Structure 1
Amino acid sequence: MDFDAVILAGGKSSRLGGVPKAQLRHGDASLLQRALAAANGAGSVVVVGPDPGTLPDGTLTARESPPFAGPAAAIEAGLLALESHAPSTEPPRENPAPWVLVMACDMPLAGAAVPVLLKELAGHPEAEGAMSVSADGRKQPLLGIYRSSALQREVLASAQQGGLANASVFRLLARLDLLAVPVPAGSTDDVDTWDDAAALGVDGGLP
């Protein structure tokens, strides 16, 4: 399946004392590195947030407007970056790709969910996307794969109704025909507090 990826790496990390989540460590990699690995197979990848430092060659960057305006605004910024990027692939492919993986960078085990989402979508080509559902039944919109054209449609509609700054991601996705896909236990667990970090084996030390 041809897809791009938008990795959300912004946010104030207020419950972590302002420590950037992207720089937290899980094993031998940062959470951002884990997210980039989870997006393996994407045609183009954009990281949305403050300066992320060194990234793999070809990785795009963007920033939500205004800064710290929330994940819905970050998704919009990521889509704009993908639309303006001309992929240098042979043979040429669609720009952006028909599907886009949207993933927050603070889920260190998200890589286990991505192939499950791709497989489910492959069996339901009429759907407009697939959203992860945790083992306890919670929907996680920041670990999903969405039809690019449908997401662009909703971003445009939101722009005509006041924009996406500090808007709900669930509201942005509300009109999409989405599959709710159970994913492996732990793959949607995120790091909002230091207790979350400890439970997931995440620490704030830099390499």
Structure 2
Amino acid sequence: MAARYDAIVLAGGRSSRMSGQAKPQLTIGEATMLEHVLLAVRGAGTRVVVGPPQPVADGVLVIQEQPAGSGPVAGMSAGLVNISAPTVVVVAADLPFLAPEVIDRLVAALGRSAGADVALVVDQSGRDQYLLGAWRVAPLRTALARLAPLPGRAMGELVRAVNVTRIELPATGDAPAPWIDVDTPADLDRARATHRTWTRTQTGLSPEKVRSDRPQK
């Protein structure tokens, strides 16, 4: 059976605000951010990570956009080379609270919207989350061709070139928002603290039994 969707995880960027650390490989709980995201898109037929060489699970492809660091639009184009499904989910690698249910909702929303080329999540402030969407591959390829050359192109330019349907995600108890990303050391600290709290809520473990993300002194 043909895959319902494939997935591109954008893991490039220079991580300048993280002192040059490889952001996708930073841990939240016992997994790296990239591992969290790859788990969320585990239903994909093909999973492609676009970025520098880095550890991934068996069966996951890693490719580098050219030139390296040329932006998410160029990264999407590079990832599409390996995509065969009619729908592709495109997400950032620094979304540690992304869940498979969110991906399923995106793919379903796109399927229900016959005139849409992409389904995007809208956050609580009404802002489009460009790197949390499901795209129809054929119109995406057309839009990318029209925007060429792609290095340095902004995601907003790509989104404005296609037909968009948007979904709002209902609050799910105390679940962290799936669009929470990590751009700075302060963001990382908050994400780790949120993960510890959420883990305690889900497991009923006391704080001393929840493994800390920080190295022991």
TM score, norm. by length of structure 2: 0.81
In the aligned structure 2, how far is the partner of 1:195 from the partner of 1:127?
37
Q: Percent identity?
A: 36
| Equivalent in 112, 116, 122 of residue 105 of structure 2 | 116
In the TM superposition, 1:154-169 aligns within 5 A as 154-159=143-148, 163-169=149-155
Aligned residues: 188
Any unmatched runs of 5+ in structure 1? 83-95
In the TM superposition, 1:1-207 aligns within 5 A as 2-53=4-55, 55-82=56-83, 96-111=84-99, 112-159=101-148, 163-183=149-169, 186-201=177-192
Q: Deviations over 1:184-207 (max 9, x none)?
A: 5611111011111112117687xx
Q: Deviations over 1:84-139 (max 9, x none)?
A: xxxxxxxxxxxx10100000000111225212212322322332120111122111
Amino acid in structure 2 at the alignment position of 1:105: A
In the aligned structure 1, how far is the partner of 2:146 from the partner of 2:214?
39
Q: Secondary structure of the residue that 1:81 maps to in structure 2?
A: coil
In the aligned structure 2, how far is the partner of 1:147 from the partner of 1:119?
12
The CA deviation at 1:79 is 0.7
In the aligned structure 2, how far is the partner of 1:158 from the partner of 1:204?
43
Which is bigger in relative contact order (C-alpha 8 A, separation at least 6)? Answer: 1
Any unmatched runs of 5+ in structure 2? 172-176, 194-212
Q: CA RMSD in A?
A: 1.8
Structure number, greater radius of gyration:
2
Q: Secondary structure of the residue that 1:113 maps to in structure 2?
A: helix
